[in-house]
């Protein structure tokens, strides 16, 4: 049981949706040993609050206008901020999970997580452990075994998803058709798919590239 003489876990909520912030603040405010010390609706505001507010842990949205949750984590690393972070998001694509962990997130929860799970995650991460639900952990483990695509391969993937031919991709990137073919073959091998169409579809599903309207 929480001893009132102990220092509560100080939470900073970073989310651009006021309804989410209000709901989390209300829910966490009823928990012994947890205190919401502030909220931010943007990455810039979050970093400023971290400079002026003592927070032990961030509940951090993944996708926001301007700085994303991953951008915030990377900025915290550059500034050598020790505040731990749990990503709290509606997105669970393999690449989102992987990039968040690579950037320094110690936990990853979906916004529809049960209250008991969220409290468990907060206490675990504050205690120096990591927290990933079983399905998220399995997807992360599977993603960790795959070879990363290069920046050029991601460029080619985006063009594949838009339906460009090898010749059109080569013209746009000012590289030869043979070089484009090599990139496409490498992408197919790394994504473990059978052709360029499946490569584009798989990349979108995993969150490696955005869907093109």
Contact 62, 87 (CB under 8 A): yes
Burial of 8 (0-12, 13-18, 19+ CB in 10 A): middle
Question: pLDDT (tens digit, 9 = 90+) per residue, 120-175?
Answer: 999 999 999 999 999 999 989 888 878 789 999 999 999 999 999 999 999 999 99
Q: What is the pLDDT of residues 4-32, one digit of tens each?
A: 447 899 999 999 999 999 999 999 989 99
Residues in Cβ contact with 18 at an 8 Å cutoff, skipping those fewer than 6 apart: 41
User: Whole-angstrom Cα distance, residue 187 to residue 156?
Assistant: 9
What is the reported pLDDT for 1?
46
Query: What is the predicted pLDDT for the residue at 143?
Result: 83
User: How far apart, in Å, are the Cα atoms of 157 and each of 121, 191, 197?
Assistant: 36, 11, 10
Angle CA 19–92–18, to nearest 5: 10
- Note the pLDDT of residue 91: 86
Domains of the chain, CATH where assigned: 9-144 (3.40.50.2300), 151-205 (1.10.10.10)
pLDDT at 2 over 60: no
Check the CA dihedral 5-129-24-43 and report its sign.
Answer: positive
Q: How far apart are CA 192 and CA 203, in angstroms?
A: 11
pLDDT in tens, 26-68: 999 899 999 999 999 999 999 999 999 999 999 999 999 899 9
pLDDT at 213: 54
Residue 39's nearest CA partner among 21, 64, 66, 19 is 21
What are 161-193's pLDDT values in tens digits? 999 999 999 999 999 999 999 999 999 999 989
Is the pTM value of this prediction over 0.85?
A: no
Give residue 146's pLDDT.
Answer: 80
């Amino acid at each position: 049981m929480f001893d009132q003489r102990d220092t509560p876990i100080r939470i900073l909520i970073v989310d651009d949706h006021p309804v989410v912030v209000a709901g989390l603040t209300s829910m966490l405010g009823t928990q012994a040993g947890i205190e919401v010390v502030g909220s931010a609706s943007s990455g810039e505001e979050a970093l400023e609050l971290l400079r002026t507010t003592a927070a032990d842990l961030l509940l951090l949205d993944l996708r926001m206008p301007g700085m994303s949750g991953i951008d915030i984590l990377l900025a915290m690393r550059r500034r050598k901020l020790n505040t731990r972070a749990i990503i709290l998001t509606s997105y669970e694509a393999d690449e989102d999970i992987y990039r968040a962990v690579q950037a320094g997130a110690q936990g990853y929860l979906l916004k529809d997580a049960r209250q008991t799970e969220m409290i468990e995650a907060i206490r675990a991460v504050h205690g120096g452990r990591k927290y990933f639900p079983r399905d998220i952990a399995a997807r992360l483990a599977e993603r960790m075994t795959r070879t990363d695509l290069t920046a050029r391969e991601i460029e080619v993937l985006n063009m594949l998803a838009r339906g460009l031919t090898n010749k059109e991709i080569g013209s746009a990137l000012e590289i030869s058709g043979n070089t484009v073919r090599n990139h496409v073959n490498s992408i197919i091998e790394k994504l473990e798919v059978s052709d360029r169409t499946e490569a584009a579809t798989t990349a979108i599903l995993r969150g490696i590239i955005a869907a093109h309207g």
